[in-house]
Each structure stands twice: as C-alpha cells, then as structure tokens.
A and B are shown apart, each in its own frame.
Chain A
Amino acid sequence: QLQLQESGPGLVKPSETLSLTCTVSGGSISSSSYYWGWIRQPPGKGLEWIGSIYYSGSTYYNPSLKSRVTISVDTSKNQFSLKLSSVTAADTAVYYCARGWMVTATAPGAFDIWGQGTMVTVSS
C-alpha cells in the first residue's frame, strides 16, 4: 500500500528557506495517473493548498505563495520536495504531502493519500 512520509527540519529561522521532502513508498512516483502536492495547516486553522506537480513536470502554485515556492521531483529517490523561501512566523504550520489522481491528462482529482504531516515552526 502506498505511503507518504514528510521529512525535514522542525525549526526554521525567519527569512530562511523551509525545505521538506516527501518520500513515497509502496509505489512509484513516476506514473501519469497521479500528481503530487503539498498542503499546510497553521495551528488551529484550516487547510491551505501550497502547490502541485504533475507527471509532466508542470507545477502549479497557490498564487499567494507563488513567488516563494518551488516543488520538484526526484524520480531516482521516489521523492518530491518543497522549498519555501523568506519564511516568517505566518509560515508556521503542519505541512502535509499528498497524492492525487489525474481525472484527465490535465485535470486533477482529489487528494486520496496523505502523509502524516510534519510540524514546522518559524522562530529565531
């Protein structure tokens, strides 16, 4: 059964870059049937979509974060990654990676498998 696991520093200093990796096990990240995404949840608040990457390599980002976000895939390691630059306290959140399936080649469906999430705190 496919599983996702987030990893990375739990504490990041303001103005630095947050870097997280999601390791996919039990299946291949290289499938045109799926896409991969990052979602975050500040303490006590709701879910916020950060961005997604498709099999084609196309990336789509939340417009409110677009200038600071980069999502990439490393197929050799079956991993995908998130980088968020110039972080502030407002970026403190639980970060989830998730898999979604493609309804068509260009239309994403729901996120059907999620990682357990990792808490990242931005503080000096």
Chain B
Amino acid sequence: SYELTQPLSVSVALGQTARITCGGNNIGSKNVHWYQQKPGQAPVLVIYRDSNRPSGIPERFSGSNSGNTATLTISRAQAGDEADYYCQVWDSSTAGVFGGGTKLTVL
C-alpha cells in the first residue's frame, strides 16, 4: 500500500516562512491535497491538486509537488496558523491515503 511520510513537527518564527513536506514514492505523479486541523475541529482543505487554494484560503498558503516530495508553504506565518497539517493522495483512484500529520508551532 502507498505510504506518505510527514515530519512530526515543524516550528517557525512569527512572520517567517514554514515549509511542511510530504514524502511518497513518485508522489509528483499524484495530486496532493493538504488539510489544516485545529484542536477540537474538523479538518479544513487548504490546498488541492498540489497548488490550488480553495476560496477563502489566504494567498500565504501555497503548495508544490515534484519527484518524491510535496511541500506546503505558509508565508508570513501567523499565530492562527498553528495547527496540524495533513497531506492526502488517492492511490490508484480508489484508496485514500493520509500522511501522519505535522504539528506546526509558531514561535
């Protein structure tokens, strides 16, 4: 089965740029989606199909995907960006796979 690997935690200084990676075998050939989850809340889609932002998501959120790594980039990080972030792909279009999640801390 397909596996996605994320770092357990990432820290970023207030106002700086955070990068959260999602590793998988030839993940660049798949569409990667990213979700933000704050404590006690349901996940929220922040990036779909590698680099597209849903309506209402700030431009500070961006994504890229190439080779074996997809990356979620959060520019000008704010305290409100503190959350868990999950990447997700479809393996063969019929099996959903989530990464283990990354806790983002804004210092």
Do A and B originate from a single complex? yes
Q: How far apart sit A111 and B86, CA to CA, in the bound complex (Å)?
A: 12
The answer to the question of A114 belonging to the interface, with a C-beta cut-off of 8 Å to chain B, is yes
Q: What residues of chain B lie closer than 8 Å to A112, measured between beta carbons?
A: 45, 48, 54
Q: Is the CB of B42 within 8 A of A115?
A: yes
- Of the listed stretches A7-15, A72-80, A102-110, chain B binds A102-110
Q: Is the CB of B49 within 8 A of A47?
A: no
Chain A interface main SS type = strand
Q: Is the CB of A47 within 8 A of B95?
A: no
Q: Is the CB of B97 within 8 A of A49?
A: yes
Residues of B11-50 contacting chain A, CB below 8 A = 31, 33, 35, 37, 41-45, 48-49
Q: Is the CB of B42 within 8 A of A114?
A: yes
Q: Is the CB of A107 within 8 A of B98?
A: no
Contact of A110 among B33, B95, B100 (CB under 8 A): B33
The answer to the question of A55 belonging to the interface, with a C-beta cut-off of 8 Å to chain B, is no
Q: What residues of chain B lie closer than 8 Å to A62, measured between beta carbons?
A: 95-96
Q: How far apart sit A46 and B4, CA to CA, in the bound complex (Å)?
A: 12
Q: Is the CB of B100 within 8 A of A114?
A: no
Q: What residues of chain A lie closer than 8 Å to B35, measured between beta carbons?
A: 47, 111
Residue among B31, B43, B88, B94 with most chain A CB within 10 A: B94
Q: Is the CB of A117 within 8 A of B96?
A: no
Contact A103 to B42, CB < 8 A, known contacts A108-B90, A109-B48? no
Q: Is the CB of B96 within 8 A of A52?
A: yes
Q: What residues of chain A lie closer than 8 Å to B43, measured between beta carbons?
A: 47, 96, 111, 114
Chosen A-B contacts, 13 in total, with CB atoms closer than 8 Å, are A46-B84, A46-B86, A46-B100, A47-B43, A47-B86, A49-B88, A49-B98, A106-B93, A108-B93, A110-B48, A112-B48, A115-B42, A116-B42
